[in-house]
Amino acid sequence: MSDDDLSFMPATQAAALIRSGALSPVELTQAVLAAARRVQPRLNPFVVLLEEQALADARAAEAAVRQGTPLGPLHGVPVSIKDQVDVRGVRTTNGSAIFAGSAEAAADDVTVARLRAAGAIIFAKTTLPEFGHKALTDGPAFGTTRNPWDPSRTAGGSSGGAAVALATGVGPIALGMDGAGSIRIPAACCGVVGLKPTLGSIPWQQGADAFGNYTYAGPMARSVSDLAAMRAVLTGPDASDPWSLGAADLPLSPVLAGRDLHGLRIGVIEHAANARLQREMAANLHVSIAVFEALGARAEAAGSEIDWMEMPGRVMYQANFAISQRRHLAEWRDRMDPTLLAFMERGEGFSLTEFREGQYARTRLFHAVQRLFGQFDVLVTPTLSRTALPADFDAAHDEVEVEGELCGITRQGWSSYVYPFNLTGHPALTVPSGFDDAGLPTGVQLVGRWGAELDLLRLGAVLEEARPWAGRRPPEAA
């Protein structure tokens, strides 16, 4: 088998072949590392490749197969970790020069520990904008991470390195983080799959404000089945995250138990806080909905009455950065991302009253979405208003252009479909929906009830079967 075939092999297939002894985890890891070395100079998805440790872990995984040791579901499968998450013995930079010389992490984050326990082999840490603050992946500490379908475009952010790695065949699964769409935005830009889980479904132990949290660890992959396999490993309570202590999966909805989707009620949200929608993005949204309708589902417009609280959400988002990163300004201001500094400056200007009003708006938005789920079983939206922005887009000052019209900053004009569900806690899955006329991926987002990830995965698999995407490889693939 060629290295190219190995690096694009699905995680579920690789794990099965490794368990049977038909595939060497050492061979697989070597192929993935070789692909990473080829991609890195062109697209810049990695902060560091953990080659020595990954190969040592692969040799140990191979020995475990020979010895008949009980194997985890991801035994021998390579996985990359966003450099916002602690990996034992590796520096966590958060995309910032501030931590370029910091101490190595003393312990794995709970998500990393669960991946290791499942047998996965951690081979790299992936890029993010400084502290994951924006929807593009670039920064003064590491440069620009570029889109494999068109390197003049952004990979999206903030889990941009993870999405690029997946799209180019550098590992079948990746761990991302999502604070305002940071898994779903790059997944949609790069043509892969990403899940923001229900609040608490996957524990997030590194959050500074556990009770006010809207940041989520989540799986990313090239296929729904790989995403599901990774998610199954990551879920479950942990003492570090109070939201996780009462979290539980809902069973699969009865209307999704077979191929017949009669009885499934779909609410279609074509616009959120955004004024415009790219023509191809809208067309591919409706083609995706037609797949469900052909199987018996009923779809109708939804959400037009909802206040998507873009400005109150922006107040909380930027004010939180202003407070959390304030301590770095005296020493590091001239080496920090100008976009982050602009966000912090704006955040400092908001009042406590505005911040509390944002928190109240978050509750109102949750109630509004809950009412939608009194009418519908699932919500379907475009993931973004348009395909990937230019790689040099200034997220602090530039306006997003859609169909020739300037539509405001990224939260208003581009990612308006994703951030609301960080605030409400509902699970949201993005899957590829096709391509635009320039050959850039489009995405569709499926949103479910709290705990209804199994419903979303089932519907994502229906779309994947009807309109397969995993076989499409970008021009800049490894």
Q: Which residues are catalytic?
A: 82, 158, 182
> Cα–Cα distance between 41 and 39 in angstroms, integer?
6
Residues in the chain: 478
Of 292, 243, 249, 289, the C-alpha closest to 269 is 289
> Cα–Cα distance between 407 and 384 in angstroms, integer?
13
Angle between helices 453-466 and 279-294 (to 10 degrees): 100
Q: Encode 396-435 in three state secondary structure.
A: CCCCCEECCEECCCHHHHCCCCCHHHHHHCCCEEEEEEEE
Q: What DSSP element (H or E) covers 445?
A: strand 441-447
What's the distance, CA 106 to chain centroid? 25
Angle between helices 338-348 and 310-324 (to 10 degrees): 110
Residue 378 forms beta bridges with which residues?
266
Q: Is 216 within 8 Å of 202 (Cβ atoms)? A: yes
> Cα–Cα distance between 320 and 14 in angstroms, integer?
41
User: In the numeric block, which tokens belong to residue 75?
Assistant: 């035994």
> Cα–Cα distance between 325 and 373 in angstroms, integer?
37
**Which are the contacts of 441, defined by CB distance < 8 A and separation ≥ 6?**
149, 188, 189, 190, 191, 387, 388, 432, 434, 435
**Which are the contacts of 370, defined by CB distance < 8 A and separation ≥ 6?**
none
